[in-house]
Structure 1
């Protein structure tokens, strides 16, 4: 069974505490995971931030929404207890509690209502309540922005000159921690391009090993013969590591050619190139920073 969305979790949470006895949030999380028969992999699946499991996040938000609607109370730190309104919801509420249904309670409506500046945007729209938590909505929006940025960067890189692309490759390797100093890294593009090698760059600042580079600012697919030629060049140089970077894509045969070798060959296509540029802040700048905060439980802990 897949991980349920946070609205689907709401009623099972109320059922878990129907007897009125307060239980720890940790026990509630385990119980809900058992109710939905989640596998170990599903129980351990994390949000994109990596800071919390998806299941814990969804149980936490379901508890928050039920608490804001007055169906649950939090009698003490980390505890959960049903209220009289919660029992009424179990007796007469729908089989699946939703955010829309919770809006009948004024306290929840005040908590969940859009701010005044959003009224004009939402007026006349019957907005569908998302099935994911606010944390997941934020993560998805962030990923969408990154993908859009990566697409824009790739378009720009493909339109750049070959000289600019050579410098970009060096800058990317530097940004990822390779190449030693910029002066030394700059020599990477001064290779003669003989024998199928475009450049050489240090793997670390001490120069204990080197990486051979091949960079192709192409729009058409890179096929196996190009990879075989690069591998042959590495073999003749007695090299152990090579990176083939292109602005296009690799065929299945090309990727298969880079596998199962004594030589380590990494293939970076246009999509991966753009992602690495964004990840390593190359060719991008910070537009806006949003801080997502959470309560510091230690501050409120009383001995």
Structure 2
């Protein structure tokens, strides 16, 4: 399968971030690169390692591209998962993928080692904890996963959350109410799929059919991924919109909500010599 290598995504990622105005989320960057490189569905939906991660191979290699660009000093990421250019980036600057790879690996351009062809030696900066957390969620038994889903939904503002999960319920696993500033409320039905593969458009259509007349909105949660066709079907014109949460979104939510995740902040102390000079 002709999947672009991580170093072949370096320049496209920079171009996409520039087109986005200098910053973008992981999803926005991925969608932009996929569109720029005109990657077909069979390439973008190919899983990286379904036993350990919900990421596709394209997303995994893009994570490496972001890591190399970060270590090179061109981009950085915020706690909210937004990647943006640093001061080092200049519009119109000429970038060489080989130079970026060699610089990050601490090798000269005359190195005999073919760094461009080598796979990275370790996980990208933002991948290690993701794979561990994703594997932990996948290992939960069904009842524990249901309890986790209810906890997440309550933490983000749902009330009256119930897990139904009864056979013949058209794929609806539960329901709840979202209240907005104690003024507006929306009835939401959701489906949770503890899954290692990709959810296709047919599953989205079936879920939409089951929710007709029963809720204002639908929410589809999976530990796997959604195909591009599934993402398009979820927001198809003229149909009830369905919000999607894939495995990556799920681990991000757990981190943000600090559910089963401990985040340790490192304090950096810097002496301001100019301050002392003004005394």
TM-score (normalised: structure 2): 0.52
**Alpha-carbon contact 2:220-2:245 (below 8 Å) kept:** yes
Tell me what 1:291 maps to. Answer: 267
Instruction: Output aligned runs, 1:111-260, within 5 Å.
Output: 128=106, 144-175=124-155, 177-180=156-159, 184-185=160-161, 188-190=162-164, 192=166, 194-204=169-179, 206=182, 208-237=185-214, 239-260=215-236
Q: Which has the higher strand share?
A: 2
Distance 2:19 2:245 in 1: 29
Distance 2:141 2:250 in 1: 16
**Alpha-carbon contact 2:200-2:227 (below 8 Å) kept:** yes
Higher relative contact order (CA 8 A, sep 6+): 2
Q: C-alpha displacement at 1:257, in angstroms? A: 1.6
**Alpha-carbon contact 2:173-2:192 (below 8 Å) kept:** yes
Distance 2:212 2:89 in 1: 52
Tell me what 2:62 maps to. Answer: none
Aligned residues: 179
Equivalent position SS for 1:167: helix
Instruction: Output aligned runs, 1:62-141, within 5 Å.
Output: 128=106
Please tell me whether residue 49 in structure 1 is matched to residue 24 in structure 2: no
Please tell me whether residue 268 in structure 1 is matched to residue 245 in structure 2: yes
Distance 1:215 1:149 in 2: 22
TM-score (normalised: structure 1): 0.48
Instruction: Output aligned runs, 1:272-283, within 5 Å.
Output: 272-283=249-260
Distance 1:52 1:276 in 2: 17
Gaps of 5+ in 1: 1-38, 60-126, 131-142
Distance 2:19 2:277 in 1: 33
C-alpha change, 1:44 and 1:230, in structure 2 (3 Å) is: closer
Gaps of 5+ in 2: 1-16, 24-74, 91-104, 109-122
* Alpha-carbon RMSD: 4.0
Q: C-alpha displacement at 1:295, in angstroms? A: 7.6
Distance 1:159 1:217 in 2: 10
Q: Which has the higher helix share?
A: 1
